[in-house]
A and B are shown apart, each in its own frame.
Chain A
Amino acid sequence: MQVKAPPWWRSRTVKGMGYAAPTAVFVAVFFVLPLLLVGQMSLSDWPLLAGDRGVNAPENYTDVTHSALFWPAVRFTLLYTVIVTVVLLGLALLLALLVQESRPGAGFFRTVYFLPSALGLASASLLFWGLYSPTTGPLSRVLDTLGLVDDPVSFLGSPTSALLSTVFLIVWKFAGFYMLILLVGLQRIPHEVYEAARMDGASRGQIFRSVTLPLLRPSLALTLLLCVTGSLLAFDQFFILTKGGPDNSTVTVVQLIYREAFQRLNLGTAAALSIIVLGVLLLLNALQFRGLRRADES
């Protein structure tokens, strides 16, 4: 008996395309199209209110890179990224080591450290905005009571203190998140490896340096990638906590995009800056992926 070929609309190929169609529409309309549009906008004179007014290349790019805030914002974003990455990943590793063993209470501590990660970044920033208040915040009062300071402390008042206060907020908010990723990595290291090292008479410090750290490298690399990318794109925390101040000392690159678009009302330069950020990020990801692959091979 001859098997009849099913009608075209019954074939699995077509059905598969049907199930994938909503994804395809979403990706095309809300991802590919905007990506093309931002490229076009970056080459056009495009005031926020007037819309497209024709080609303006490469002036958008030269204008935005020559603006007074561009290099300070780049420098500040890089500085912030380095500090956050070092402090955050260091603390996350400490937390992961503290809660990895099944001591009594490990589950409790794990939950407590992770709790701030359940909050939104904007909520956490608003919370710390009150916490840092020189008039009603508790931190200033505690330091005053302890006799450590004479006047109310202005946590957001100077460029350095504003930066460090924001770093503290971010470390508080995200340490538990990175702890969890590192914990997964720690738990994948087989027990036998530790035991063999102990049999060879290695000290705890030696075991950490020559067993734990090398075997944890894939997880550390993942946290590094996430932390660097996230920090380079910092926005909410500075927008809410410092508003870029004092004296524009804490303006990040993404904040600059926002200012170009909605304060200077120039979508063309905002788009140009967006393209620059995209390029830098893609380059960085490519480099890190290469580094990761090399780490895997060795």
Chain B
Amino acid sequence: MLTRALGRTPHYVVAGGLAVIFLFPLLWNTLASVSGQPGTAQESGYGLGNYRTLLDYDAGLWRYLLNSTVVSALTVALTLGVSLLGGYAFARFDFPGRNLLFLLTLAILMVPYATLLIPLYVLLGRLHLQNSLIGLSLVLAMFQLPFATFMMRISFEAVPRELEESALVDGCGTAGALRRVLLPAVRPGLITVGLFAFLAAWNDFIAPLILISDSEKAPLPLAVANLRQQSMGAVDYGATEAGVVVLAVPCLLLFLLLQRHYIRGFMSGALKG
């Protein structure tokens, strides 16, 4: 017993050492955001001075949180709606152009982000959606479609056909069957898709950087990045650290709460390669 425990010690030393390295930046940042630092709103001692700076910065933290929430909610709603109907169509219906459309949707993954953002900047201008949170959400939802459509298609394909057919025999239309029978069956897939869409929209940086020019409309990541270069070249590390905490908390919470759904998203991608 003792020799076995000793034999395992190097394993735990390596695993533990790595765990410290992985946790350290997160813990340091959280602590630093409430610690005293010269040149920040929290000069000494512990307190929430840096968070107060964030509340008052430019349009104010609440404004940026609202922008981020609106963009994330819209992106999640659009992604869920489009991929639910699309996944149903690809899994259960036969129509001309079905395979072409599915391949085109997956092809979004093959095209670099930046390659599409340059023309989208012009295109959104023509649609009068430039510098708008709605335009940004439409673009972010488009980037989610390959994963979401793929995920919803395999979710629908996993539901036994008989389930849907019995609903159709009972007089439901396809819409009724979708709403009453299929929707509960594909709910895990929807949660995974929604989770990934939220995280992508909440964290995205380059799309708002290019598509949003009005600082009032900036989502939080962009606002925090802008805040660094404030006040005559002086750098406010404390407020940045507070901003990172506000950005990270929802992501970490969602990950810890929905770990199972998170992992499933990976597995499906990793398995299908």
Chain A bound to chain B: yes
> Which A residues lie at the B interface, using CB under 8 A?
12-24, 26-27, 30-35, 37-38, 41, 51, 95, 98-99, 103, 105, 108-109, 111-116, 118-123, 126-131, 133, 136, 138, 172, 175-176, 180-181, 184-185, 218-219, 221-222, 233, 235-236, 239-240, 254, 257-258, 261-262, 267, 270-271, 274-275, 277-278, 281-282, 285, 292
> Which B-chain residue is minimally distant from A236 (CB atoms)?
B205
* Contact between A120 and B202, CB atoms less than 8 A apart: yes
Contact check: which of A13, A127, A236 meets B25 at CB < 8 Å? A127
Instruction: Give the residues in chain A near B259, CB-CB below 8 Å.
Output: 111
* Contact between B22 and A23, CB atoms less than 8 A apart: no
Given contacts A98-B18, A130-B241, A131-B29, are A41 and B8 in contact (CB under 8 A)?
Answer: no
> Which B-chain residue is minimally distant from A20 (CB atoms)?
B89
Contact check: which of A24, A35, A136, A271 meets B101 at CB < 8 Å? A24
B240 at the interface (CB under 8 A from A): yes
User: Do most interface residues of chain B lie in helix, strand or loop, or is the interface mixed?
Assistant: helix
> Which B-chain residue is minimally distant from A292 (CB atoms)?
B273
> Which B-chain residue is minimally distant from A118 (CB atoms)?
B255
* Contact between A120 and B110, CB atoms less than 8 A apart: no
Docked complex Cα distance between A198 and B10 (Å): 22
Count how many pairs of residues, one from A and one from B, have CB atoms less than 8 Å apart in the complex: 263
Q: Return 18 A-B CB contacts under 8 Å, by A number.
A: A17-B95, A17-B96, A19-B89, A23-B82, A23-B86, A27-B101, A41-B119, A122-B203, A122-B221, A122-B225, A122-B247, A130-B240, A131-B25, A136-B37, A184-B270, A235-B113, A235-B206, A271-B119
* Contact between B86 and A20, CB atoms less than 8 A apart: yes
* Contact between B115 and A278, CB atoms less than 8 A apart: yes
Q: Mark B84-98, 1 if CB is under 8 A from A, else 0.
A: 011011101111101
Instruction: Give the residues in chain B near A176, CB-CB below 8 Å.
Output: 22
Instruction: Give the residues in chain B near A236, CB-CB below 8 Å.
Output: 205-206
User: Do most interface residues of chain A lie in helix, strand or loop, or is the interface mixed?
Assistant: helix
Docked complex Cα distance between A13 and B141 (Å): 26
Docked complex Cα distance between A222 and B269 (Å): 10
Given contacts A23-B86, A34-B120, A129-B228, are A235 and B202 in contact (CB under 8 A)?
Answer: no
B15 at the interface (CB under 8 A from A): yes
* Contact between A126 and B225, CB atoms less than 8 A apart: yes
Measured between C-beta atoms, what is the minimum distance from B197 to chain A in Å?
13
Measured between C-beta atoms, what is the minimum distance from A23 to chain B in Å?
4
B172 at the interface (CB under 8 A from A): no
Docked complex Cα distance between A131 and B12 (Å): 27
Instruction: Give the residues in chain B near A278, CB-CB below 8 Å.
Output: 111-112, 115
Interface residues of B in 110-132 (CB under 8 A from A): 110-116, 118-123
Instruction: Give the residues in chain B near A267, CB-CB below 8 Å.
Output: 118, 121-122
Contact check: which of B12, B18, B251 meets A120 at CB < 8 Å? B251
* Contact between A15 and B174, CB atoms less than 8 A apart: yes
Given contacts A130-B241, A267-B118, are A123 and B221 in contact (CB under 8 A)?
Answer: yes
Instruction: Give the residues in chain A near B14, CB-CB below 8 Å.
Output: 98
Contact check: which of A122, A123, A184, A239 meets B271 at CB < 8 Å? A184
* Contact between B118 and A118, CB atoms less than 8 A apart: no
* Contact between A98 and B11, CB atoms less than 8 A apart: yes
B66 at the interface (CB under 8 A from A): no
Instruction: Give the residues in chain B near A20, CB-CB below 8 Å.
Output: 85-86, 89-90, 93, 95, 98, 101
Instruction: Give the residues in chain A near B123, CB-CB below 8 Å.
Output: 30, 33-34, 37
Docked complex Cα distance between A205 and B92 (Å): 49
Instruction: Give the residues in chain A near B83, CB-CB below 8 Å.
Output: 23
Contact check: which of B89, B115, B221, B241 meets A16 at CB < 8 Å? B89
Docked complex Cα distance between A113 and B14 (Å): 13
Contact check: which of A95, A108, A254 meets B114 at CB < 8 Å? A254
Given contacts A103-B8, A278-B111, are A180 and B266 in contact (CB under 8 A)?
Answer: yes
Measured between C-beta atoms, what is the minimum distance from B40 to chain A in Å?
9
Instruction: Give the residues in chain B near A115, CB-CB below 8 Å.
Output: 22-23, 26, 252, 255
Q: Mark B26-39, 1 if CB is under 8 A from A, else 0.
A: 10110010000101
* Contact between B22 and A26, CB atoms less than 8 A apart: no
B105 at the interface (CB under 8 A from A): yes
Instruction: Give the residues in chain B near A33, CB-CB below 8 Å.
Output: 119, 123
Instruction: Give the residues in chain A near B113, CB-CB below 8 Å.
Output: 233, 235, 254
Instruction: Give the residues in chain A near B267, CB-CB below 8 Å.
Output: 184
* Contact between A23 and B105, CB atoms less than 8 A apart: yes
Measured between C-beta atoms, what is the minimum distance from A111 to chain B in Å?
8
Docked complex Cα distance between A175 and B14 (Å): 15
B60 at the interface (CB under 8 A from A): no
B133 at the interface (CB under 8 A from A): no
* Contact between B110 and A282, CB atoms less than 8 A apart: yes
B224 at the interface (CB under 8 A from A): yes
* Contact between B11 and A116, CB atoms less than 8 A apart: no
Instruction: Give the residues in chain A near B89, CB-CB below 8 Å.
Output: 16-20, 23
Instruction: Give the residues in chain B near A95, CB-CB below 8 Å.
Output: 18
Contact check: which of A37, A51, A126 meets B119 at CB < 8 Å? A37
